[in-house]
Amino acid sequence: MSLSPGDSLTSHNFGLQIDGVMVEYLAEVSGLSMEQDVITYQQNTQNGQNKVVNLPGVKKNGTCTVVRGMTQSAAFTEWINQSITGQMSTARKNASIIMMDYQSTPVKRYNMRNAWCSKIDTSTVKAGEASALTETVTIVFEELDIE
């Protein structure tokens, strides 16, 4: 890792890997989340004291939203198309959001298992405007592993 102790990552260098292949550098990542239910268990001890314990419950599926420039990244576009046309046998892939330092060295990875695209939005197109066109893609996944 090229960060010194106490240094933090900057938020300007990150990308998306699908099945181990870097397919896209992203403009934005938001809402990367996964949730787990909490089970509250109450019982009495031998002394008659009330004891409350929180236990891990069922994990819920996670989501994240990524924004990319409208580029010709064939692998990412193919993944989106497989997902939105319902070809789930090929659309479910392992994907990773990779955070990199200023030297483009991977520092942190968010590995999403059985991920697929559930929604795509394009940016507003307006005549005479000189802004970049983007696509906002919602990715759903079954399990999150953070390295």
CATH classification code of 14-146: 2.30.110
pLDDT tens track for 58-75: 988 999 999 988 876 788
pLDDT at 76 over 60: yes
Given this model, what pLDDT does residue 17 score? Answer: 93
Q: What does the domain layout of the chain look like in residue ranges? A: 14-146
pLDDT band at 39 (very low <50, low <70, confident <90, very high): very high
Whether the Cβ atoms of residue 66 and residue 136 lie closer than 8 Å to each other: yes
Given this model, what pLDDT does residue 12 score? Answer: 72
- Segment of 17-26, 71-80, 91-100 carrying the highest mean pLDDT: 91-100
pLDDT at 1 over 60: no
CA distances from 67 to 64, 86, 87, 131 (A): 10, 22, 23, 14
**Mean pLDDT for the chain overall:** 88
pLDDT tens track for 100-132: 887 788 888 999 999 999 999 998 888 888 888
Whether the Cβ atoms of residue 111 and residue 132 lie closer than 8 Å to each other: no
Rg of the chain, C-alpha, whole Å: 20
pLDDT at 51 over 50: yes
